[in-house]
Every structure is written in C-alpha cells, then in structure tokens.
Amino acid sequence: MSALTLRVTEITPLSPLVTRFRFEHPEGAGLPLFSGGAHVVVEMPDAGVLRRNAYSLISDPLDGSGYEIAVRREDGGRGGSRFLHTKVSVGDLLRVNLPVNLFALDLRAKKQLMIAGGIGITPFLAQLKQLARLQMPFELHYAARSRAEAAGIALLPDLPQIHVHISDEGNRMDLGAILSGQPLGTHVYTCGPEGLIAAVDETAARLGWPKGALHSEAFLAPPPGAPFTVTLKSGREIEVGAHQSLLEALEAAEVAVDWSCRGGACGRCETGVSACHGRIEHHDHWLSDEEKASQTKIMPCVSRFVGETLTLDL
C-alpha cells in the first residue's frame, strides 16, 4: 500500500464537532493530484493500536500543495476521529495513503446534482472545485439539522446553484421538488446517512429516473458489535473486540490482508470462508445477495460474525 508521510500544517475548527486538517509534504514536494470524490486513509498510531480511517478529500483536486480533510468527532465511534481531534497537533507527521476514488463524477452528465446530508458534504467540496475547472453545470443541496452543525457552510462558495437547508429553521429539504425539475441527462449524487440515500433512491424511482443516473456514498464506518472469534487455516484463533473490526484484529495479529477503502465498498479485502457455523453479519456494499447468503465470503473491514465458529481462508 503506497503511503506518504505528511506533516499536519493547519488545524481549523469549523463547528463544535467538525475540524479541518491540512497535510503537506514535509519537504514541500507536490502531492499526487486526484479527482473529486476521492478519499485518503489516514493512519493513526494511538496507544499501541494502529487505526486507519478513510476521509474524503475536500481540497482542490488540481492543487498538489496539500490535502485537506474535515473530520467529525464521533465520541461513540472506535476512536479514530477522537484521536485526530484530541491528540494531533500542527507539526505532527502522519502516514496518509494515496487518494482512491469510489465516488467519482460521471463526466458524461449534462448536469451534476449533488445532495449532501451533514458531514456527507465532504466529497462534494472537492467535486465543486473540479466542476468549476471543467465549467460543467451543477446544483448542490446541503441539509443539516442546525446552523451550528452545518460545518460545511463556511467552506461552500457563495453561488446561486448552492442551496442550504436547515431543518431547525423550518427549511427542510424537499427531495420531490429537487428531483422533479431536472433536465434530461442529469446525474444525481447523494452522500450522507443511509436514510437520506434511501429517500433519494425512492423519490427518484417514483419520478422515473434511470438507475444509472443515481450515485451514492454512505460514510460507512465499521459498526461495533459483540466480540467474536475467528479461526485461521492454521488453527490459530483471533479474538475481535467489540469496538474493533475483523480487519483491525487481523492486522493487530500481523495476518496480512489486502485493503483499500476500509468501508465495505471497494472489494479489496474480500476473504474466503471455509467453514461457518453461525451467521455472518454482512455490512458491506460489495458482495452480491447470493454471495452474502452463501456465507462463503466476508469483507473483514466492516462485517462481523455471531455463532460457534468461523474459519477463514487465511
């Protein structure tokens, strides 16, 4: 996995919960450019545990002078965002993996329609900069519960195509109105909670949108769950903690597994299952329904297990 060691050069609070971090090359070298919607995986050595979290890049894709991410502090999460918020200072060096894009714009679109919920605004911040360069028509809707929580407002350009919906102010986003007035050839991109993505899919289906014009990215963090044990081919057993993913447990035990997005989307960590007495809790967007039902494969980055024994092809 190709990673760069970068220096934290700016830490800027955007809201009580969301902070922006800027990374630059320690010797000032240019960083690889990327496409809007790309993410990086940041490695965080936290008291003996190596955490790796994926964050969308929010800076200009055509500006290699630095990478910027916006991180929402999740106190109930597994600790990656808390680590960034409380233990990282300007000047620190962190390993950052090269950008990967699983949420790219379809450049064939006649118009790009972007719908963001909460911290789901992040990939669109880079895409907006890319669209400005490409001079493509777009429209963006950003929904948040309150103005204080809407960290993205500070980072959005003041343009008539950008609409902010604050539900506390009685200005809820009306998906029917947004999706019904669009020209043919529009593609819609949704990033936010699963509920928002489902609502967009449902409304679009009702209005007759073609499926190929709908794109979404759920910010999927490995969900916690009850501890469980897996068995390797050698017979070795690995314990997975309640707030640890199977992938993290394998890494902690120095079992080599390839990975990329760590969010159940890219398929890179797909692992065969040779015996399963129990039920795999599939949380990924990668395996097909048939593959999930067969219980012969697991995505260790997000999926868990309940039952007697789970033997992996590792």
Partner 1 sequence: MTIRFNDETFRDDYTFHNSPEAIRRFPFPFDQDSYMYSVNLEPHAGGRAGTPFQNRFDVDEHYVAEMKDREITLAQDPLRCQSLPHMELAGWDFLELVMVSKAEDYPELFELHRDGDRWHWINRPLGIEQRFTFLDPTTLPCGPLEYITRQTQGDHALLDQRDDNLWMDAGMITSQADWSLDFDIGMNFYEWHAPVPKAHEMGVFQRALKFLLNLRQEAPVRRLNWTMTVNPRLDTSPENYHKWGPEKRTITPETVGAKQHLRVELQTLWRLPRSNAIAFPIRCYLCSLEDIVTQPKWGRRLHRVLRDLPDELAEYKGFAVNRPTIVDYLAKFDDGAPTSPGIFPD
Q: Which residue number, 62 or 306, has a Cβ lying nearer to partner 1? A: 62
Can you tell me the distance from the alpha carbon of 145 to that of 16, in angstroms, rounded to the nearest whole number?
14
Q: Does 108 bind partner 1 (CB under 8 A)?
A: yes
Nearest approach in angstroms of CB 140 to partner 1 is 20
Are the CB atoms for 165 and 142 separated by under 8 Å? yes
Are the CB atoms for 46 and 78 separated by under 8 Å? no
Q: Does 226 bind partner 1 (CB under 8 A)?
A: no
Cα atoms in the Cβ-side hemisphere of radius 13 Å centred on 145: 4
**Which one of residues 143, 266, 273, 312 is an interface residue with partner 1 (CB under 8 A)?**
266
Residue type at position 301: C
- Of 32-40, 197-205, 237-245, 249-257, the window that binds partner 1 (rule: CB under 8 A) is 32-40
Binding residues among 147-206 for partner 1 as defined by CB under 8 A: none
Nearest to 302 by CA among 279, 278, 286: 286
Q: Does 3 bind partner 1 (CB under 8 A)?
A: no
Q: Does 19 bind partner 1 (CB under 8 A)?
A: no
- Of 15-23, 30-38, 80-88, 177-185, the window that binds partner 1 (rule: CB under 8 A) is 30-38
In sequence order, what DSSP letters do the residues of 168-182 get, joined into one string? GGT----HHHHHHTP
Q: Does 61 bind partner 1 (CB under 8 A)?
A: yes
Nearest to 212 by CA among 179, 188, 177, 178: 188
Q: Does 260 bind partner 1 (CB under 8 A)?
A: yes
**Which one of residues 268, 291, 296, 309 is an interface residue with partner 1 (CB under 8 A)?**
268
Which is it for strands 186-192 and 111-117: parallel, antiparallel or unpaired? parallel
Burial (CB count within 10 angstroms: exposed 0-12, middle 13-18, buried 19+), residue 224: middle
Q: What residue ranges in 118-201 does DSSP mark as E strands? A: 138-144, 162-166, 186-192
**Which one of residues 80, 99, 117, 123 is an interface residue with partner 1 (CB under 8 A)?**
99
Q: Does 101 bind partner 1 (CB under 8 A)?
A: yes
Nearest approach in angstroms of CB 290 to partner 1 is 14
Q: Which residue number, 95 or 268, has a Cβ lying nearer to partner 1? A: 268
- Of 34-42, 119-127, 151-159, 219-227, the window that binds partner 1 (rule: CB under 8 A) is 34-42
Can you tell me the distance from the alpha carbon of 62 to that of 143, in angstroms, rounded to the nearest whole number?
27
Q: Does 34 bind partner 1 (CB under 8 A)?
A: yes
Using CB under 8 A, count the residues that bind partner 1.
24
Q: Which residue number, 169 or 313, has a Cβ lying nearer to partner 1? A: 313
Are the CB atoms for 246 and 240 separated by under 8 Å? yes
Nearest approach in angstroms of CB 32 to partner 1 is 5
Q: Which residues contact 90 (CB under 8 A, 6 or more apart)?
A: 8, 9, 10, 11
- At CB < 8 A and 24+ separation, what contacts does 236-241 make? 240/304, 240/305
- Of 81-89, 96-104, 166-174, 242-250, the window that binds partner 1 (rule: CB under 8 A) is 96-104
Q: Does 62 bind partner 1 (CB under 8 A)?
A: yes
Q: Does 234 bind partner 1 (CB under 8 A)?
A: no
- Of 27-35, 39-47, 243-251, 275-283, the window that binds partner 1 (rule: CB under 8 A) is 27-35
Cross-strand bridge partners of residue 182: none
**Which one of residues 29, 50, 93, 107 is an interface residue with partner 1 (CB under 8 A)?**
107
Nearest approach in angstroms of CB 162 to partner 1 is 23
